[in-house]
């Protein structure tokens, strides 16, 4: 019988740390291929449909002056299907993020056992979510969308479809592991489940101590033992609700739906596809050629370009994941050619994601203004300089780390060569200008603007650079869906975890503690920095702002801290937590976008996080950085 080698179910395909599975029988391989097709083909078509729909909305509103009133509604319906089929495609292709630092040190035999335990735990999460997902469809069945009069149950059926496909994929991979590892994995998982179930009555009496048990203990253990990050978050939420509360589990599915269905996040797949298109059309090569001629003689030159590019492009999409997806595919290939280590690249990309959280027009700034009453225009004015201060801190560290590195070119390029490279690169360099112009002039929304860039890149590739491979479009659409699904399902399960923290009463207890701190403004600011770094690692910026902003901003005003300065410190502290491993969701988003394994960035990122923390302390200590350019009343 012919056999096929099975690819890792939870690591990038080019990772090299594949799941330790034996050969897969031919009949099982055929089943696996069919499962891959029934999610990859719809996912690719959905990406294409969203691109066409969003760009049609731009044309209808700006050119024909007849907006598609149903456009956002249809885009939202398709988006959840894109997120779930993309997540299933990511599972099949091995694109889900997981930490394997401990597993890789366990040896081949024990590593295979840990891999199987992680696989069974993933099966457990998917099995737990299946029934509540079906019940959630029934709850939504009576809801009809206002413009299209579309049954909302058909929209949320995407969750059941995606979960069902992922369940079958995990079963196929479990069948391929062999009886011994599979038996050990099932026995270990069953023992843990039985132990927790037996301890249920005790857990219910522990109150908020369960938050520490499940959201620190369970999440920390499962993440570090190699379970996919999204499934780890989801399993912790399910365990917490089912064992320590009496809340219905359908709530977890509804919170995941809320997290994955934010229309703003549609910018993530659009910018991922734009990044792939820029590379395919030769625009990336033109831009890198110019930047290399300009900074090739400088040690760490392209690292400075990465910091500056993230600062300039930040806020265009409203999503850090989308910002990173727009920059990383352009710069990383050339930076790798120039000897940069992959771990260093993803560490710096994560750091720039945290650095640019206050650069307007940021959706986090808009959110904090809307829930706290702080002037959004003042936040926009105050957000530029703090981001620049952190950029200087990162550049200082880049200089220190690269001071002994040998530049690729030891001589400065002649002006004629720089001018020629600039002439070739002008159409490509104009892309960020076109994107920002489209947003500022109201031509496209933050969600739609990526499609303007896609059409521009398409025309530039066909008419200017004459480099366009139609055969690559299909694989690019599938890759876009897989990367997007891997990111979106993490956001969905993280949103469910944020909701569980809110319902526990933890937020009000924390606010009461902060209000009675001794030491005045300095102590309040110091505790706020530490607290929001920790919160940022488990909550995304928007949920954390909605939870704690209305509670803490009045306290900040009472102790004499300017609300704009406090907003900057809060946002940057949350950004630091969001992009800090092992819990920070943003870090895994950076790894997914750059297709670099999380393990590689753990050591290099420590220095960047320290640099950012020092910068935040300076911003907290010097109010002028945040409020110096505000108009005084």
Q: What is the pLDDT of residue 632?
A: 55
Q: How far is CA 299 from CA 252, 403, 410, 422, 506, in A?
A: 49, 7, 9, 21, 48
Q: What is the pLDDT of residue 393?
A: 93
- Element (DSSP H or E) covering residue 23: strand 23-25
Contact (Cβ atoms closer than 8 angstroms) between residue 540 and residue 494: yes
Helices 598-621/342-355 angle, 10° precision = 30
- In the beta sheet, which residues pair with residue 25? 3
Which of 116, 460, 50, 436 shows the shortest CA–CA distance to 263?
50
Q: Is 412 helix (H, G, I), strand (E, B) or coil?
A: coil
Q: How far apart are CA 13 and CA 96, in angstroms?
A: 10
Q: What is the pTM of this model?
A: 0.76
**Burial, 518: exposed, middle or buried (Cβ in 10 Å; 0-12, 13-18, 19+)?**
exposed
Q: What is the pLDDT of residue 583?
A: 74
Q: How many CB atoms lie within 10 A of CB 121?
A: 24
Q: What is the pLDDT of residue 16?
A: 35
Q: Which residues contact 281 (CB under 8 A, 6 or more apart)?
A: 457, 458, 460, 461, 462, 465, 467, 468
Contact (Cβ atoms closer than 8 angstroms) between residue 166 and residue 87: yes
Q: What is the pLDDT of residue 355?
A: 87
Q: What is the pLDDT of residue 385?
A: 92
Listed by start position, the domains of the chain span: 3-261, 269-362+386-470, 501-627
Contact (Cβ atoms closer than 8 angstroms) between residue 318 and residue 360: no
Q: How far apart are CA 235 and CA 493, in angstroms?
A: 9
Which of 177, 153, 155, 157 shows the shortest CA–CA distance to 165?
157
Q: What is the pLDDT of residue 541?
A: 59
Q: What is the pLDDT of residue 599?
A: 82
Q: How far apart are CA 594 and CA 577, in angstroms?
A: 20
Q: Give the chain's residues under pLDDT 50.
A: 1-21, 317-318
Contact (Cβ atoms closer than 8 angstroms) between residue 39 and residue 88: yes
Contact (Cβ atoms closer than 8 angstroms) between residue 572 and residue 390: yes
Radius of gyration over alpha carbons of the chain, in Å? Answer: 24
Give yes or no for a cis peptide into 45 (omega within 30° of 0).
Answer: no
Greatest pairwise CA separation for the chain in angstroms: 81
Q: What is the pLDDT of residue 566?
A: 94
Q: Which residues contact 503 (CB under 8 A, 6 or more apart)?
A: 247
Q: How far apart are CA 266 and CA 317, in angstroms?
A: 9
- DSSP 8-class letter at 155: H
pLDDT in tens, 252-284: 899 999 888 888 778 778 878 887 888 788 887
Q: Is 357 helix (H, G, I), strand (E, B) or coil?
A: coil
Q: What is the pLDDT of residue 487?
A: 80
Q: What is the pLDDT of residue 623?
A: 92
Beta strands 23-25 and 3-5, pairing class:
antiparallel
Contact (Cβ atoms closer than 8 angstroms) between residue 130 and residue 167: yes
Contact (Cβ atoms closer than 8 angstroms) between residue 132 and residue 249: yes
Q: How far apart are CA 81 and CA 74, in angstroms?
A: 11
- DSSP 8-class letter at 403: T
Q: Which residues contact 40 (CB under 8 A, 6 or more apart)?
A: 85, 89, 92, 93, 478, 481, 482
């Amino acid at each position: 019988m012919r056999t096929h080698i099975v690819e890792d179910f939870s690591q990038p395909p080019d990772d090299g740390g594949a799941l330790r599975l034996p050969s897969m029988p031919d009949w099982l391989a055929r089943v696996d291929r069919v499962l891959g097709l029934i999610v990859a083909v719809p996912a690719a078509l959905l990406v294409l449909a969203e691109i066409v729909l969003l760009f049609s909305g731009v044309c209808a509103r700006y050119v024909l002056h007849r907006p598609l009133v149903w456009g956002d509604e249809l885009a939202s319906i398709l988006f959840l299907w894109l997120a779930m089929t993309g997540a299933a495609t990511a599972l099949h292709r091995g694109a889900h993020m997981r930490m394997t630092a401990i597993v890789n040190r366990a040896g081949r035999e024990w590593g295979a056992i840990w891999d199987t335990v992680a696989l069974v735990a993933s099966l457990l999460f998917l099995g737990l979510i299946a029934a509540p997902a079906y019940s959630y469809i029934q709850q939504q069945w009576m809801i009809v969308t206002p413009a299209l009069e579309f049954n909302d149950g058909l929209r949320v059926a995407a969750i059941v479809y995606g979960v069902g496909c992922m369940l079958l994929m995990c079963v196929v991979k479990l069948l391929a592991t062999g009886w011994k590892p599979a038996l050990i994995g099932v026995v270990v998982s069953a023992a843990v489940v039985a132990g927790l179930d037996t301890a249920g009555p005790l857990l219910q009496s522990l109150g908020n101590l369960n938050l520490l048990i499940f959201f620190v203990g369970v999440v920390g253990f499962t993440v570090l033992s190699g379970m996919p990050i999204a499934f780890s978050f989801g399993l912790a939420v399910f365990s917490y609700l089912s064992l320590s509360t009496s809340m219905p589990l359908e709530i977890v599915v509804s919170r995941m739906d809320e997290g994955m269905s934010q229309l703003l996040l549609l910018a993530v797949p659009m910018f991922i596809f734009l990044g792939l298109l820029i590379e395919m059309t030769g625009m990336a090569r033109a831009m890198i050629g110019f930047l290399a001629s300009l900074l090739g003689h400088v040690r760490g030159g392209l690292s400075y370009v990465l910091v500056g590019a993230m600062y300039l492009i930040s806020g265009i999409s409203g999503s850090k994941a989308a910002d990173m997806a727009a920059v990383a595919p352009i710069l990383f290939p050339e930076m790798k050619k120039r000897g940069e280590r992959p771990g260093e690249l993803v560490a710096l990309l994560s750091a720039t994601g945290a650095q640019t959280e206050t650069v307007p027009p940021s959706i986090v700034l808009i959110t904090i203004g809307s829930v706290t009453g702080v002037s959004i225009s003042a936040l926009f004015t105050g957000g530029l300089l703090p981001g620049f201060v952190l950029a200087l801190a990162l550049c200082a560290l880049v200089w220190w780390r690269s001071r002994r590195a040998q530049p690729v070119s030891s001589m400065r390029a002649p002006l004629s060569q720089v001018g020629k490279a600039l002439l070739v690169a002008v159409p490509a360099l104009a892309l960020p200008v076109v994107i920002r112009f489209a947003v500022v002039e109201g031509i496209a929304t933050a969600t739609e603007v990526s499609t303007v860039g896609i059409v521009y890149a398409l025309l530039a590739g066909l008419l200017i650079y004459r480099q366009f491979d139609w055969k690559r479009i299909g694989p690019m659409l599938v890759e876009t869906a897989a990367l997007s699904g891997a990111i979106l399902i993490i956001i969905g399960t993280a949103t469910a975890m944020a909701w569980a923290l809110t319902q526990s009463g933890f937020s009000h207890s924390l606010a009461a503690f902060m209000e009675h701190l001794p030491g005045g403004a300095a102590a309040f600011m110091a505790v706020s920095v530490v607290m929001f770094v920790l919160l940022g690692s488990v909550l995304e910026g928007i949920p954390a702002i909605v939870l704690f902003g209305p509670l803490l901003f009045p306290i900040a005003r009472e102790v004499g801290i300017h609300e704009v300065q406090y907003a900057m410190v809060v946002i940057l502290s949350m950004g630091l937590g969001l992009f800090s491993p092992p819990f920070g969701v943003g870090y895994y988003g950076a790894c997914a976008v750059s297709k670099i394994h999380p393990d590689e960035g753990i050591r290099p990122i420590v220095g960047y996080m320290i640099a950012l923390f020092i910068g935040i302390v300076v911003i907290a200590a010097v109010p002028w950085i945040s409020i110096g350019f505000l108009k005084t009343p």
